[in-house]
Amino acid sequence: MKFQEGVFLVAIFSLAYTQLVKGQPQPHEGCQTRCGNVTIEYPFGTSPGCYYAEDRSFNITCNERNELIFGDNKVIKISHGGEIRVRVNSSYSCYNSQGNLSNGVYYTFELGNLTLSTKNRFTAVGCNTYAFLSTYGVADYSSGCMSICASPPEPNGECSGKGCCHNSVPRGSNFFKVRPYSFNNHTSVHSFNPCSYAFLVENGTFNFDALEDLKNLRNVTDFPVVLDWSIGKQTCEQVGNKSICGGNSTCFDSTRGIGYNCKCLEGFEGNPYLSSGCHDINECTSNRHNCSDPNTCRNKAGGFYCKCQSGYHLDTNTMSCKHKNVGWTIILLGTIIGFLVILLGVSCMRQKMKHRKNTELRQKFFEQNGGGMLIQRLSGAGPSNVDVKIFTEVSMKKATNGYDVSRILGQGGQGTVYKGILPDDSIVAIKKARLGDSSQVEQFINEVLVLSQINHRNVVKLLGCCLETEVPLLVYEFITSGTLFDHLHGSMFDSSLTWEHRLRIAIEVAGTLSYLHSSASIPIIHRDVKTANILLDEDLTAKVADFGASRLIPMDKEQLTTMVQGTLGYLDPEYYNTGLLNEKSDVYSFGVVLMELISGEKALCFERPQTSKHLVSYFASAMKENRLHEIVNGQVINEDNQCEIREAARVALKCTRIMGEERPKMKEVAAELEALRVKATKHKWSDQYPEENEHLLGVQTLSAQGDTSSSRGYDSIKNVPILDIEAGR
């Protein structure tokens, strides 16, 4: 008993599964599948439970004459793609020779939810005829055509306006009526054309015959017409997985603009509206394959493939199996391996040649950049105080990010300076000589040679050089706060240097030049002293830079005869006129720098009056006319430092005398400026501690009473203490 109940439940479940697929009902078993010679397939059906119940338009009838009927029209064929072909009667009106209507029929057609396809034509036949097609559905629409001819046209099978005319049919109409008319009741053409005809017909199924059709339309009363159908009123996207499309099928939007239809996937056939309607096509047995040998065809779901036996391969061009030629395979494989070996060998040789070429090129650049000369001159120039490191081309390119323009710190006569970051994250300044300027190589070598003799806290430190590149590179310590020129005249920094800052910078530069002239292992003349070559670090400590134009002075000579080189505005006029270079040339240039520090004016300015374009002339004139206060920078001068500024101005004038022998040495200049700072410091100290100052004055008075030699006082100009500031630190 329990077994029978189980079988019953399985049967019920199977029936329910058959009826519900994707949430949609399926046809019952035993539905009529054929009427006459027309196949009936779901969603169409002839009885309840056999057609898609949500749309009664799919309910068709098989009459007693075994004809399948849709409405009042005979069905010719039903297509899964959303079309049904039916035969539709024509409308006509016939007249006798007196012009009276003898008979006529006018048809109106209602299609339910089905609509006319655009694959039809509205056609009218007659030489005294005009006809109208009125449709209703998506939009009301009327169209028509007319045909007028006095005699029968030549028979040519074309409906082109002579005895026959046609027009297109709009999409989406589900109700239409057709009616023909006559202009003069066919009285003028009655002998060969007593009637007017109007009908709908599928494209390509009606060929006009002028001899037969004008007389009685060949006794044809109906024509094939295509109707469009679809499921529901939603698109595939809107209906989602609730469509009635079965397995191995896909949904597509209906061409009529509403609803959707189903079709089997490629390689499948059947009724896509049934749950398991689409089944695999066996291409091998249905002769739908392209394998040259049918025995090699193998079916698979949705397709096929050609399988060759062992030792053969498939030629996809001819889809035939061909014997594998092992000999040719070995030859081909050997050829490929040999080619790869040769290619690898050539690649290795090219790499070696490239490496060798790069090595030779680096050696060539080393010699071209004066590497041999540098080594020779360094070895013969006396003891070197600098351990010059040799950097590689790769490390320099990496440090400057490929010499990116954003890394440029400045450009000048000696080349371009880049900001570099070394692998240890230390920041350096990398100076690159100008490409194609052979004179730069000599200056490059000269700068290395000069800096190798210097070890001074106020000289920018040379870290190393690179000779492997097309143009030489020098690597310096990175000075963070720009040049003195930038602070005095540029827009990069605020011109906020106090007098104390300026005096200290002047003392540091003067002490450095004094060291170069007197205390270096070989005396050095900088030859291009200017504010642009004086760098300032974060503490505003001066660093003298750019020794490309500098010269080493042999111990047995006081001056050298050289090609004049320097910067206008700072250039010693005596050196300019004679070409004789000595330490007094640097003294002159320093005097101009000191004037810039005092005045804040540029060394050469064409915006000043003609006689004052050069700062030396401008400064001397102001001193002579006792109007120094007019040219002193307003941010610098105050009541406490006027005397110091006047003394510094006097030193600057002494440094810029026309005759070099009348100028003081840098040693003396440094001492005078240092004395000014000492005096200023004592003055500030006495202002801050007046009691101690009075006590000291009292001691001096007592001393003066006991020693008449001290009663003359202290002359800060004539009796400046000579301080030992020239030694390197």
**Structural contact between residues 201 and 123, judged by C-beta atoms closer than 8 angstroms:** yes
Tokens linked to 367: 């010699």
Residue ending a domain, among 168, 203, 228, is 228
Same domain, 589 and 726: yes
pLDDT attached to residue 139: 61
> What is the pLDDT confidence band of residue 557, given thresholds at 50, 70 and 90?
low
427-438 burial by CB neighbour count: b if 16+ within 10 A, else e? ebbbbbbbeeee
pLDDT of residue 605: 87
- What is the residue-wise DSSP string for 339-401? HHHHHHHHHHHHHHHHHHHHHHHHHHHHHHTTHHHHHHHHHHS------PEEPPHHHHHHHTT
Do 585 and 685 belong together in one domain? Answer: yes
Overall average pLDDT of the 133-140 stretch = 77
Encoding tokens for residue 228?
């469009």
Give φ, ψ of 343 to 5 degrees: -60, -40
Cα 357 to Cα 351, 472, 680: the distances in Å are: 10, 19, 65
pLDDT at 230: 95
For residue 702, pLDDT over 60 is answered with: no
Q: Which helix (H) or strand (E) holds 7?
A: helix 2-19
Q: Are residues 106 and 196 in the same domain?
A: yes
Residue 185 is given by DSSP the state T
**Alpha carbon distance 637, 644 (integer Å):** 10
3-state secondary structure 551-587: EECCCCCCCEECCCCCCCCCCCHHHHHHCEECHHHHH
Give catalytic residue positions.
Answer: 528
Pairwise pLDDT comparison (363 vs 41), residue with the higher score: 41
Q: Does some domain include residue 320?
A: no
Helices (H), ranges, 573-728: 573-578, 583-599, 615-624, 628-631, 642-655, 666-688, 690-706
Confidence of residue 593 (pLDDT cuts 50, 70, 90): very high
**Torsion on CA atoms 637, 641, 642, 646, rounded to nearest 10:** -110
Q: Is the pLDDT of residue 93 over 70?
A: yes
Element (H or E) spanning 102, and its range?
A: strand 101-105
Give the C-alpha separation, 291 to 303, whole Å: 12
pLDDT above 80 for 693? no
Residues 6+ apart with CB under 8 A from 515: 456, 726, 727, 728
| Range of lowest pLDDT (13-22, 468-477, 561-570, 657-666) | 13-22
Residues 696 and 599 in one domain: yes
CA 127, CA 163: separation in Å to the nearest integer? 5
What pLDDT is recorded for position 313?
Answer: 77
At residue 476, the 3 state secondary structure works out as strand
pLDDT at 5 over 50: no
Whether the Cβ atoms of residue 277 and residue 249 lie closer than 8 Å to each other: yes
Asked if 166 contacts 223 with a C-beta cutoff of 8 angstroms, the reply is: no
Helices 642-655 and 583-599: angle between axes, nearest 10 degrees: 150
> Residue 453: pLDDT above 80?
no
Residues 116, 239: one domain?
no
Calculated CA dihedral for residues 344, 345, 348, 353, nearest 10 degrees: -140
Name all contacts of 273-276 with Cβ < 8 Å and 24+ positions apart. 273/41, 273/42, 273/43, 273/52, 273/80, 273/231, 273/244, 273/245, 273/246, 274/21, 274/26, 274/27, 274/42, 274/246, 275/17, 275/18, 275/21, 275/26, 275/246, 275/247, 276/246, 276/247
Residue 729 within a domain: yes
Categorize the per-residue pLDDT at 2 as very low, low, confident or very high, splitting at 50, 70 and 90. Answer: very low
**What is the model's pLDDT at position 390?**
78
Q: What are the Cα distances from residue 317, in Å, to 290, 300, 313?
A: 11, 21, 12
Number of domains in the chain: 4
Mean pLDDT of 521-548: 86
pLDDT in tens, 18-52: 444 444 567 888 899 999 999 999 999 999 999 99
Residue 571 has pLDDT above 60, yes or no: yes
Residue 315 lies in a domain: no
Rounded distance between C-alpha atoms, residue 177 and residue 133, angstroms = 6
> Does residue 703 register a pLDDT over 50?
no
Phi, psi torsion values for 500, nearest 5 degrees: -60, -40
Q: Do 474 and 486 belong together in one domain?
A: no
Range of lowest pLDDT (100-114, 203-217, 239-253, 547-561): 547-561
* Distances in whole angstroms, Cα of residue 321 to Cα of each of 282, 324, 429: 21, 9, 73
* Listed range (514-518, 583-587, 719-723) with the worst mean pLDDT: 719-723
CA distance 116 to 120: 8
Q: Are residues 515 and 466 in the same domain?
A: no
The angle formed by the CA atoms of residues 670, 672 and 689, to the nearest 5 degrees, is: 115
Phi, psi dihedral angles at 61 (to 5 degrees): -125, 140
Helices (H), 146-223: 210-216
**Block residue for tokens 């450009």:** 411
Same structural domain, 526 and 576: yes
Q: Does pLDDT of 694 surpass 60?
A: no
Task: State the number of CA atoms in the 13 A half-sphere of 536 facing the CB.
Answer: 20
Q: 248 and 190 in one domain? A: no
Q: What is the mean pLDDT of residues 334-351?
A: 90
Which position has the token pair 């906020």?
496
pLDDT recorded at residue 373: 63
Closest CA to 90 of 205, 171, 189: 205
| Cβ proximity of 260 and 254 under 8 Å | yes
443, 478, 513 - which closes a domain: 478
In a domain, 334, yes or no: no
Structure tokens at 71: 């409405």
Q: List, for residues 416-426, the tens digit of each pLDDT value.
A: 889 999 999 99
Token output for 172: 């989406």
pLDDT at 409: 84
Residue 684 lies in a domain: yes
Distances (CA, A) of 363 to 133, 356, 376, 397, 490: 97, 10, 16, 18, 42
- Give which of 183, 185, 164 is closest to 94, Cα–Cα: 185
In a domain, 616, yes or no: yes
CATH of the domain at 509: 1.10.510.10
Percentage of residues in the chain having pLDDT higher than 90: 38
Q: How far is CA 500 from CA 42, 636, 640, 660, 667, in A?
A: 106, 9, 12, 29, 21
44 and 37 Cβ atoms separated by less than 8 Å: no
Cα separations in angstroms, 366 against 66, 318, 399, 471: 107, 67, 20, 9
pLDDT per residue over 202-250, tens digit each?
999 999 988 889 988 888 889 999 999 999 999 999 999 899 999 999 9
* Between 289 and 75, the higher pLDDT residue: 75
CA 322 to chain centre: 51
CB atoms within 10 A of CB 32: 13
Dihedral sign of CA atoms 639, 643, 647, 649 in order: positive
* Chain centroid to CA 375: 49
Is residue 657 included in any domain, yes or no? Answer: yes
Same structural domain, 390 and 471: yes
Residue 618's region, left for phi above 0, alpha for psi from -120 to 50, else beta, is alpha
Please state, rounded to an integer, the average pLDDT across all residues of the chain: 81
pLDDT higher than threshold 60 for residue 457: yes
Is the Cβ–Cβ distance between 517 and 585 less than 8 Å?
A: no
Average pLDDT over residues 616-643: 86
Judged by DSSP in three states, 609 sits in coil
Distances from the Cα of 171 to the Cα of 90, 116, 136, 224, 310, angstroms = 20, 6, 10, 17, 58
How big, in percent rounded to 5, are the helix, strand and coil portions of the chain?
A: 35, 25, 40
For 501, the domain range is: 482-702+715-729
Lowest average pLDDT, out of 505-514, 551-560, 620-629, goes to 551-560
Q: What is the DSSP letter of 459?
A: B
Lowest mean pLDDT among 79-83, 92-96, 152-156, 295-299: 152-156
Give a yes or no: residue 74 inside a domain.
Answer: no
Does residue 592 sit in the same domain as residue 661? yes
Q: Tell me the CA end-to-end span of the chain in Å, nearest whole number.
A: 117
- At 708 the pLDDT is 32
Domain containing residue 416: CATH number: 3.30.200.20
Q: Are residues 162 and 244 located together in one domain of the fold?
A: no
Q: Which range has the worst mean pLDDT, 20-24, 326-330, 427-431, 657-661?
A: 20-24
The per-residue pLDDT for 436 is 54
Total length of the chain: 729
The predicted structure's pLDDT at residue 354: 79
Q: What is the pLDDT of residue 141?
A: 81
Ramachandran category for residue 138: left, alpha or beta (phi over 0 → left; psi -120 to 50 → alpha): alpha
Last residue of a domain, one of 260, 280, 300: 280
pLDDT the model gives residue 616: 92
Question: pLDDT band at residue 138, thresholds of 50, 70 and 90?
Answer: low
Residue 385 pLDDT exceeds 50: no
